[in-house]
Every structure is written in C-alpha cells, then in structure tokens.
Amino acid sequence: MQVKINKIGVLTSGGDAPGMNAAIRAVVRGCAFQEIECVGIYRGYQGLIENDFEELNARSVRNIISRGGTFLKSARSKEFQTIEGRKKAYQNLKNADIDALVVIGGDGTFTGALIFNDEHDFPIIGIPATIDNDINGTDFTIGYDTALNTVVEAIDKIRDTASSHNRLFLVEVMGRDAGDIALNSGIGAGAEEILIPEEDRGIERLVESLKKSRKSGKTSSIIVVAEGDKSGKNIFELAEYIEGHLEDYEIRVSVLGHIQRGGSPSCYDRVLASKLGIGAVDALINGERTIMVGIHHQKVVSIPLDIAIKNGAKYDKNLRRVADITSV
Amino acid sequence: MQVKINKIGVLTSGGDAPGMNAAIRAVVRGCAFQEIECVGIYRGYQGLIENDFEELNARSVRNIISRGGTFLKSARSKEFQTIEGRKKAYQNLKNADIDALVVIGGDGTFTGALIFNDEHDFPIIGIPATIDNDINGTDFTIGYDTALNTVVEAIDKIRDTASSHNRLFLVEVMGRDAGDIALNSGIGAGAEEILIPEEDRGIERLVESLKKSRKSGKTSSIIVVAEGDKSGKNIFELAEYIEGHLEDYEIRVSVLGHIQRGGSPSCYDRVLASKLGIGAVDALINGERTIMVGIHHQKVVSIPLDIAIKNGAKYDKNLRRVADITSV
Amino acid sequence: MQVKINKIGVLTSGGDAPGMNAAIRAVVRGCAFQEIECVGIYRGYQGLIENDFEELNARSVRNIISRGGTFLKSARSKEFQTIEGRKKAYQNLKNADIDALVVIGGDGTFTGALIFNDEHDFPIIGIPATIDNDINGTDFTIGYDTALNTVVEAIDKIRDTASSHNRLFLVEVMGRDAGDIALNSGIGAGAEEILIPEEDRGIERLVESLKKSRKSGKTSSIIVVAEGDKSGKNIFELAEYIEGHLEDYEIRVSVLGHIQRGGSPSCYDRVLASKLGIGAVDALINGERTIMVGIHHQKVVSIPLDIAIKNGAKYDKNLRRVADITSV
Amino acid sequence: MQVKINKIGVLTSGGDAPGMNAAIRAVVRGCAFQEIECVGIYRGYQGLIENDFEELNARSVRNIISRGGTFLKSARSKEFQTIEGRKKAYQNLKNADIDALVVIGGDGTFTGALIFNDEHDFPIIGIPATIDNDINGTDFTIGYDTALNTVVEAIDKIRDTASSHNRLFLVEVMGRDAGDIALNSGIGAGAEEILIPEEDRGIERLVESLKKSRKSGKTSSIIVVAEGDKSGKNIFELAEYIEGHLEDYEIRVSVLGHIQRGGSPSCYDRVLASKLGIGAVDALINGERTIMVGIHHQKVVSIPLDIAIKNGAKYDKNLRRVADITSV
C-alpha cells in the first residue's frame, strides 16, 4: 500500500551514538528524493513539546556524515512521560502538518514512541542507534561498530603501558546489560580476561586464570570489564580484590567512559545509517507504521517496535569460546 | 569424523591485508588449545619450497593482533606454479611431519592450494583475507572493513581541501573487479558519484549529474573511482575529460594506492580473523579438507575451495540506490 | 602606540592548511575580547572583490577548532592581481567600515597583501598557515605539524605492506622548494632514504646505498621523495631507474597527494593558531602594520611582511645527519 | 676532548612515554654509526641489578620507531635505592665491559643516575622522556607532544556527546605538578575552563564564569582539570560542587587516565627522540658526562643532570591569556 506522506519529522533521542548524523542525513535526502518535506526536531521529544522545529533540505545536511554526535541534539524529556506532554507534542505535529515521525535512538526512544502511538495513532518509524547493540531484531545498531574501534584503540594504548611495566590493567567499558562491547573489544584488543553481564564465572576462577597465565610467561595482562559485570564488585573493588590475591602484580584501573560515545563514525556505521535512513522513508511510503527498520543478514528489515524493545542482548557462546582460546 | 592432526603449518600469501596477523595468532592459539603443534611458514608458498619454517607457540604471537601486514610475510612464488616446485613443497611438509596446511589469502592463494591438493592430496583449509572482499561464500574477507575505514578517513581529509577550495576531486580506490570498496567507502564518505567495475552508466550521465549537482548548490564534489571502473579511461584521462566538459570546476586527482592495504586492523577485522583462525583449526580436527572457512550471517561456515574461488563480487543494487539517493 | 581599530576583516587564502579554522576562531574571539567587530571574508581575495562578507561573533566560530580546511574557504583570485580588482577590494573594505585585515595563508597571500598595502596603505597583518613550513621568520607555520603526522601515519601503513612483501616503496610527499616535510616525516617514519630539493646527492649514491642496505639485512625499504627533489626524474621514472639498477627488488610508488592538506589539526597546530590569531589582533591594537605574526622560540614575534616572503626554507644539516645515522 | 667509549648500555626507566622506542633506536644506531657496541638493559635500573642485558645491533631495533611504550620495558626499582643495589649494578656494568650508560626517563630516573654517578663515577647521559614535560633545561620532553594529541582527540570525542546533550563535562588529564598538558590540550580542545596546579583562581570564579558562559549562548562546556589542580577537591567532588551551584546543568566526569601514556608517537616525538638519541651518543664521544641532552630552540643542548632535575614546569602566562580569550 502506498500512502501519501507529505511531511516527515525526524529527531534523535537518548544517548548519542556516532552515525546519528549520517542517519538524519539519509532521512532528509530520502525525503528530498521522494519529494517529501522534512522537518528536524531539536532535542528529541523535549523539542517536540517545545516546538523546536526547523525545515531541513538536502543542503542542510551537507558535511555532517563524518561527524560524531547529533546536530539535532538529544535530551531526556520528563514532560514527554506525562499525558499532557505527549498531547502538546501531538498538537505541535498537527500544527506543523507533519504526517509521520522518524525517531533515531535506543529502546527508551522506542518505548516513548509506542506510548505516543497508542495515544495518538501517529505514524512512527524507529531507527536503532546506540553504541550498546542491545536492540532486538537488528543484527547491529548504529554506533556500535565505531564504539568497538574506539575501545580497541584505547586498549591498544593501554597495552603499550601495560607491556612496558609488566602490569595488570582492568579496563571498564560500556554495557550495563549487554556484554557485546566487552566481548568483541576484548577479543579485538587481545584481552586476557573479559567479564560480561551475561555470565558469572566467579572471581576465584579469574584469580586462578591470572596466576596460570603469568606462569605461562605472560608478563602483562588486560582485563576488560563491562559496567554490568556479575562480579558483585565495582571495578576499583575488583582491582583491590585481585591485588590481595595475587603476588607481584601491579594493578591499574582505567574507566574509558564517555569517549566511547563520540568520534567520527566508522565506514560501517555511516553505510548502515545511510541504509536505515533511506529504509525508514521507504517504509513510511510503503505504509508501514510503528516499526523499526533494522539490518538483518545485510538487508534492511522491518520489526514491530514492541518486539524491538524486548531484550536484544546477543550473547554468543561461540564468541566466548573464541575469547577463551585466543587469550591463552 | 575426528581425525588426528598432530602438526599444522600456517602461511600467508598474496596481497597483505590488515588482520592477517590476528588470523595467524588465532590459528596458533587454536592449535595450542587443541594441543597441536604449529609451524609458521614464511613468505607464503615460496617459503614452503625453501623450507623457511619456524615453530610457533602461544607466546610467539603475542602483541601482534594490533599490527597490520603479516609477520610471516607474503610473496608471489613462480616456482610454486611448477610441478617441481610443488613437489619440493610437499616433500618439505612431509619431512617436517606437517599434517595439514592453513593458508591465509585470497583467490590466487586458494587456487594454488587447490592445485597442490589435487597433486598431493594434502589437507588444506583456506582463510579469506584480502581487502577486496571478492571471495565467494563469505560475507566478508579479513582486511576489508579496515580498508573501508582507511579510505573513508583519507577522503574525509580530501573533503577538507575540496570544500575549502570549491573543487572537484577524483579519488581512485582499490577494486579491479569488485566495486565493494568504492561503493561502500563512497557512501561512507558522502561521495557525489561512485564509478565501479560492475556497471557502466556512461560518462555523459556523469557530466550531466555533476552539472545538475552544482546547480543545486553543491560547491565541492568527490567522485570515488574503482581501479576497474568501466569509463574506459584511466583516472587522469577521466579528469581531463570532465574538465573539458564542465565550466568553473577545478579538478584534482588523488590515487590512494597502497595505504589502503596497511594499518592497524579494525575491531571487526580482528574479531573476524580470530573466529576464522579458530574455525580453521576446528575444521581440520573435524575432518574437513579443501575448504575455506568463511563468515555467513555472523556464523563460521565451510565452503569448498573450488566454490570460494569463483567470482565473489557482491554487487548490491540496493546499495547503489542508497548511494544515488544520499548523494543528491 | 595604541590605535583605535573598530572593525577587522579576516580571510584565508592560498592552499588550505589544518589549523586555519583555529586561527580564524582566535582572531574572532580576540576581537570579541577587545570589543572589536569582526567580519569574515569568504574565498580569500576573491571574496574581498565580490563583497562576500559575513559578520562573525564569538558564537559563529564554535566547534570549528577541530576541523581541517577553512570554513571561510580559499581561492585563487586572478582579479586581485589587477589594479582594478584591488581597487574594488579597497572600496568594499571602506564601504564596510573595515579598518584592518588579517590574512591567513602563505607567501602568495602575503605578496598580495604587500601590493595591496602599497597601493592603498591599508593595515594588514599576516598569519602564516601552510603545510610547507616555508615562511621566513617563523619557526613553524600552521598546518605543518599536522601534515607531518598525516604523512608519517600514511607511511606507517605502507611500511606494513613493504615489510610483508620485502618491497621497496617510493613515497612522494609535498614540498616543491622545501624539504622540511620530507626530511622530518622521513626520519619519523624510519625511511631508508630521503630525497629533498635542497641537495643533490646523486642517483648513483642512492642505488649504492640501497644495495648496501639490503646486504646488511634490510628486507624492505621506504624512500621518501619530496616533489621538488633534485634527481631530475619524476617519481615514476625514478622507480624505473632504480628497478633497472637493482636486482631482486620489487618497487612500488605511492604519491600521497592531497590527503596531506586535510585532517583534524594536531594539538600543536591548534595552539599555534590560537596564539597567532590572538597575536594578530594584539598587533593591530598595538599599532603594528604590514607584518606577519610568527612563532620564534615559542614566543609570538612580528616580522615585516616583505621579510616573511623571502625564502624561508629551513634546511638543517644536523637533521640530515640524524636521518643518515638512524636509517642504517 | 674525544674519549674512547667502546660499549654503551641503554635503559628506559620511570613512567613509559611514546617515543622511548624511537630514542632507544637512535642510541643503538648512533652506536652502530660510531662503531660502538650497544647493550640493552631490560626493566630499567632493576634489570641493571639483575643483569638482564641483551646486545643490540642496528637490526635489533627495526620497525620499533612507530610503537608506543618501550620494548626494553620499564620498572621501579626499590633495590636501586639502596647502596648494595647500586653496587651490584655497578659490578654488572663492569663485568659486561660497559663504559657508559644512556638512561631514558624523567626526573626520578635522572636522580637515580646522579646518585649512582656520585658513588661510582660512572659516565651517564640522560634523555628526557615523560609525557609531563616537566624537565628543566629542555623545551620539550619525548612523549609530551603525543600525549597532547591523545588528550585532544579524546576531548574531541567527549565534545560530540557534550554538544549533543548540552552537558558540562569535567575531564581529568595528567599533570600532578605541571599544567602543561592541561593548558595546551585545553586550548587545543577548545575547553571553556582549564584548572592547573600552577594557579588557584578560586572555585567561585569558576562557577561565575560558567554561569556567564551559559548566558552568552554556550550550551555545552568542557572543563579540563589537571590531576594536581588547586581546587582542593578531587574531580568528583568538584563536579558535585558545581552541580550544587548551577542550575540546569547536567554534569559528567571523565578521567582520561592511562590512555594518555600510550599510542604511536607523533612525528615530532619521533624526530625529537631521534635527535636526542644521536645527541646522547655524540655527547659521550665528546667526553660529556652526567648531563642530559635536551632540545632548546630546536637545537640539541647539554644540561647538567643536577640542573635538569630541578622543577621544570613551564607555566606560560601568555598561554593562560590565550586560553582565557579563545574560550569566551
């Protein structure tokens, strides 16, 4: 079914991720191609409520594909969590003659979209963009690949110091519920151990493994720890515990923090964002609503938003095995 | 069928690709895990003929996962193209008690492996590593993702100059037969036009498109040209032709060349190389022979080597459409 | 002498260089600090003639310090080379009540400024920005440090391939008259040989040195060649010559080209540009005219423009000796 | 006076810094050039005591110029702080016929060298390598330029997030006693405020400035804080204080930590290390002892070690002014 859409609004919401700008650009240019008007909404749902709109054309988005962050900015909106807030938002959309929304973000963004749609029956398409890769129904989220490269580059730097000093480093990476960043960057950076939220292998095993590893001739070690790891200790407590149970190990902690969200997106993330941005406009034109466009087996697919917000952690046992074998 | 393999030889051959070291490392550590001996063979098939072997253990490959190139080195071997050369190679393998070979490279490497196997019935597993991503049966080859990032970073730099001077740049990227690098990096870098070997859209269309693009307000442009593009002109001739048919355009040519092969591998390539290296050892143990381990839908798969060497170009019409729409 | 300046115009001209944006930003904010109005002039002297002006305030230049190129754009202006052109330019400055100009560029830019000043006695301050580091009276020009890092990173990548294949690479870097980029990047990248415009050591010596180097156990080599080297051959002819006079060497050529001009500026270039931008505004306020602000022994200094345009190549014999010794 | 030196020992000590490998390489190749033997000593002074020596020749140091850290490794040695430890060290040097030492490190390294020289009258040359740039008598230390680029790249990434969310970020960078990293990287990254150990401008001024800055239209801010800043609060307490005194500001803290020590050295650091490494060998041959080779006004100079260890912080009031003006 081809449904006539005349004007689309686009916004970014939640934690920013590299590639959000590339996604906005693709939505805007997809609109230009389809001769649909496009309106940028600043600061996510908050800007929707505050009527913070700007018309965007193909030229508005030039030279942004290489930039991290989101030029439409992002924000948390408490007001959008209220019925009144959402009413205001709906009224603003109506007043501006906007027929449909494309929302770029993660599960919080999509949850807001679902509620809004329930109340106002407004056509919405989601585009998954979050470094955590924890969205259901898409193999990858925009920003995840860039974050992996950022983490690996940072750990490569730490490895220089670790090797020079025969030290043990605990490196905290993002991932409260999903260990994808930790597991993949840990393999990529050649980490000796990787602690993730999806499993609890016990702190004693860790200590034993480190002892064995040193005996085998390893003089320095990197342990990658996801924020949400199951050790029951924060990373500083964990460092203290290990130091108390190992001899001759100088231990250091590094919390990578917010650098993981920024940076110029990788080629993969730029292409993914371009595909999904175009895909979102196509989906609207094809009459699809309340879905997320995702990538599955290199193809753009549509996933109902209520499915997309279900737990999307992708714990891969084979990857854990690869980590264990390559880190000997 | 579990077959007893006691000693594996590993080599890299053909053009080098970022992630080859990570693949060697994974093969070596996969062997250590399975308690198989591992022998590194220097300079590809030439080292096989010249008996240029070295025993490798888990410690031999430390701190190489982050390095471009291949520490086992690569070479073209004319001698291996002769029956006598291959006989010598076989004899050296027998003398060293090597039971199986893992060869890391592209289609030339695999073709050599097939001939060798035909003559000597020697167990061989291939691992696809080439920046061109032109191997059949695997979604991605090792090195391709890194090369895309290298190209995009280079074009981002060129964009700075192009924008500052309102210039048109023709940028030549690798790809004699496959346009994957050109098409993906072109989308990623926001190129206005992309010329690839898989299609001939005509040079007149190109000139018309550039005229239209300038009229629409574009003040600078990047054209990404694959080595094997179908314009029938080399990139300097192409530049001259365009300059002759457009007004007011200062044109510059940049041939990216060999920087595309080097550099520290991306996280994706490191993880892919780790998976495939472990997968190759697993495959040998499981009795598989004369296959390539590839990645398909994020899983390690086995592809007969004679299938793998068939044309693996992955021209994706949807991607061409994405390129056309996002470059308006 | 403190002279009242009410409005400054700022422009970038000539080849772009990383850090030009940082310099513009510092001029604009220096003006804001001194409560002087600031006008950006687009496309260098051409924009001056075409009245392509825009008022800039402290907020206009936010988030540009990290960006390569120049947002004011640059251009060559044939019209500015005529008396009439310069008259128009002068008239436009008068009409806009601009009291003084800050011109950011290289020796061509400064030469234009001198002629303009001769004819119209207009206060001008130059800021040296060119990757070639060939301006007299300043230890460093804006963009040079970044270009060195770009070249070294590129050669590091080429080294991966050179080492993997035991190859000899000829890498052409910028520098028609000055060998600073070649000599410094050559030392930094560990090049085996460096050919620069300032000296002619003879092509026979080069061939002999390469033979000796291979005998000593070097299996791969990088030769860095400045555009203006004195071999009397272009880089492809040079490669052919060497290939004809050496055995067993596979030779490849890489012309780095325009990537050397782009990229996010290094910290050094950002700080240098910030110092010089502020210094230019200070100089105007202090009554200085027709000078360039440069950096000498880490301090901002003033150099008469007619001195600045004299040959500023900084050939350093000690550096040549360091290159020769470290490349054994 | 030319004194005959037959064998030199070289070691790295203290915190590692990018460019240490380049310095070792230059010492080794300087020795090869002068036909002096060269011995690498592992793990700094501790390896001296434990006789952890290895002969190095020109080929031993190939392909290390681009690598961070130090392949000779570094360590703190408590034993070297005892008379007995230093005696052992001396005996080992004598037994190995080593005539002189080149020690690469910071003020701790040089202090150890001075005591050792006092007791055993052993020829020692120091090479300043520390990211902190806090050595007296040299304009720059090896590793400092690279660290500045690392910090600026990290803050550029954080800026993406800060801008996207209109947030205030406190970023802690290295520098317990010297604010060089904070001040230069702060200017380079366009930080709104920079807190350094050399001055105490008061926390109230900071809060006032942030209020003013937001009023002027700034929507996001970066504050760079040196470890040794004079606020009397650690960075988390500082964040809490600011949050308590400002409205509408979401505040985040990022501690950059050990990534600042690692990474491939910048071109500047590689060239500096090459100059100083050669300079150290030259100095020994010229009969100089108990000095550090440093860089001053682009020339290699000799500084008595007891002068070098005096406070070398280089607080530059002009730079503070540049920071204040450009951050408006």
ipTM: 0.96
Q: Which two tokens stand for residue A179?
A: 């260990």
Confirm or reject contact between C223 and chain B (CB < 8 A).
no
**CB interface of A with B, residues 172-201, below 8 Å:** 184-185, 187-190
CA distance to partner chain B, nearest, from residue A214 (Å): 12
Q: Which two tokens stand for residue B112?
A: 């050599």
Q: What pLDDT sits at residue D1?
A: 47
Rg (CA), chain D: 22
Q: DSSP E strands: which ranges in D106-249?
A: 124-128, 167-173, 193-195, 221-226
Spatial separation of the C-alpha atoms in residues D68 and D18, rounded to whole Å:
5
Residue to mutate among C139, C181, C268, C326, with most D CBs inside 10 A, is: C326
Number of A/B CB contacts below 8 angstroms equals 151
Q: Which two tokens stand for residue C74?
A: 């640059």
Do residues B174 and B235 touch, judged by C-beta distance below 8 A?
Answer: no
Q: What pLDDT sits at residue C13?
A: 97
Q: Which of B155-159, B308-312, D121-125, D321-325 has the lowest mean pLDDT?
A: B308-312
Q: What pLDDT sits at residue C223?
A: 96
Query: What are the beta bridge partners of residue D12?
Result: D104
DSSP string, C197-248: TT----HHHHHHHHHHHHHTT---EEEEEETT-TTSS-HHHHHHHHHHH-SS
Confirm or reject contact between A286 and chain D (CB < 8 A).
no
Q: What pLDDT sits at residue A246?
A: 87
**Would you give per-residue pLDDT tens digits along chain A (328 residues)?**
455 899 999 999 999 999 999 999 999 999 999 999 999 999 999 999 999 999 999 999 999 999 999 999 999 899 999 999 999 999 999 999 999 999 999 999 999 999 999 999 999 999 999 999 999 999 999 999 999 999 999 999 999 999 988 899 999 999 998 999 999 999 999 999 999 999 999 999 999 999 888 888 777 899 999 999 888 889 999 999 999 998 777 899 999 999 999 999 999 999 999 999 999 999 999 999 999 999 999 999 999 999 999 977 778 899 999 999 999 8
SS3 D172: strand
- For B170, name the nearest residue in chain C, comparing CA atoms only: C258
Number of B/C CB contacts below 8 angstroms equals 107
Task: Name the region of A151 (left: φ>0; alpha: ψ -120 to 50; beta: rest).
Answer: alpha
Spatial separation of the C-alpha atoms in residues A75 and D174, rounded to whole Å:
31
Q: How many helices, marked H, and strands, marked E, lie in chain A? A: 11, 11
Does the beta-carbon distance from C254 to B254 stay under 8 Å?
no
A119-154 residues labelled b (16+ CB within 10 A) or e (exposed): eeebbbbbbbbbbbbbbbbbbbbbbbbbbbbbbbbb
- For B167, name the nearest residue in chain C, comparing CA atoms only: C75
Confirm or reject contact between C246 and chain D (CB < 8 A).
no
Confirm or reject contact between A3 and chain B (CB < 8 A).
no
Nearest to D73 among A20, A158, A164 (CB): A164
| C-beta neighbour count of B219 within 10 angstroms | 15
Residues of chain A with Cβ-Cβ distance to D69 below 8 Å are 159-161, 163-164
Does the beta-carbon distance from D157 to A262 stay under 8 Å?
yes
Spatial separation of the C-alpha atoms in residues D259 and A150, rounded to whole Å:
12
Confidence class of residue B314 from pLDDT cuts 50, 70 and 90? confident
Q: What pLDDT sits at residue B13?
A: 97
pLDDT > 70: what percent of chain D? 99
Q: What pLDDT sits at residue A2?
A: 52
Max CA separation in chain B (angstroms):
70
Confirm or reject contact between B145 and chain A (CB < 8 A).
yes
Specify the DSSP class assigned to residue A224: E
- Inform me whether the pLDDT recorded for B4 exceeds 90: no
Q: Which two tokens stand for residue D212?
A: 């003013």
Nearest to D271 among C66, C188, C277 (CB): C188
CA distance to partner chain A, nearest, from residue B14 (Å): 24
**CB interface of B with C, residues 84-143, below 8 Å:** none
H helices present in chain B, as ranges: 20-34, 44-49, 83-95, 107-120, 144-165, 180-188, 203-215, 235-245, 267-285, 305-308, 317-326
Q: What pLDDT sits at residue A143?
A: 98
Q: Which of B16, B52, B99, B132 is catalytic?
A: B132
Q: What pLDDT sits at residue C251?
A: 93
Chain Cα centroid distance, residue A312 = 12
DSSP string, D185-241: HHHHTT-SEEE-TT----HHHHHHHHHHHHHTT---EEEEEETT-TTSS-HHHHHHH
**Which residue ranges form the domains of chain D, and what is each CATH number?**
7-143+265-309 (3.40.50.450), 146-261 (3.40.50.460)
Confidence class of residue B290 from pLDDT cuts 50, 70 and 90? very high
Weakly modelled stretches of chain C, pLDDT under 50 = 1
- Inform me whether the pLDDT recorded for B264 exceeds 80: yes
Does the beta-carbon distance from A166 to D73 stay under 8 Å?
yes
CA distance to partner chain D, nearest, from residue A80 (Å): 17
Rg (CA), chain B: 22
From the number of C-beta atoms within 10 Å of its C-beta (0-12, 13-18, 19+), residue D19 rates as buried
Confidence class of residue D311 from pLDDT cuts 50, 70 and 90? confident
Specify the DSSP class assigned to residue B315: -
Q: Do the annotations mark residue D15 as ligand-binding?
A: yes
| C-beta neighbour count of B108 within 10 angstroms | 16
Specify the DSSP class assigned to residue D79: G
Does the beta-carbon distance from A26 to B322 stay under 8 Å?
yes
Does residue B139 carry a catalytic annotation? no
Spatial separation of the C-alpha atoms in residues D26 and C188, rounded to whole Å:
11
Nearest to D160 among A158, A159, A261 (CB): A261
Spatial separation of the C-alpha atoms in residues B321 and C15, rounded to whole Å:
35
pTM of the model: 0.96
- Inform me whether the pLDDT recorded for B3 exceeds 70: no
Q: What pLDDT sits at residue D57?
A: 95
From the number of C-beta atoms within 10 Å of its C-beta (0-12, 13-18, 19+), residue B286 rates as exposed
Q: Do the annotations mark residue D321 as ligand-binding?
A: no
Residue C229: half-sphere exposure toward Cβ, Cα within 13 Å = 28
Q: Do the annotations mark residue D174 as ligand-binding?
A: yes
Q: Do the annotations mark residue D208 as ligand-binding?
A: no
pLDDT tens for each residue of A76-101: 899 999 999 999 999 999 999 999 99
Could you tell me how many residues make up chain B? 328
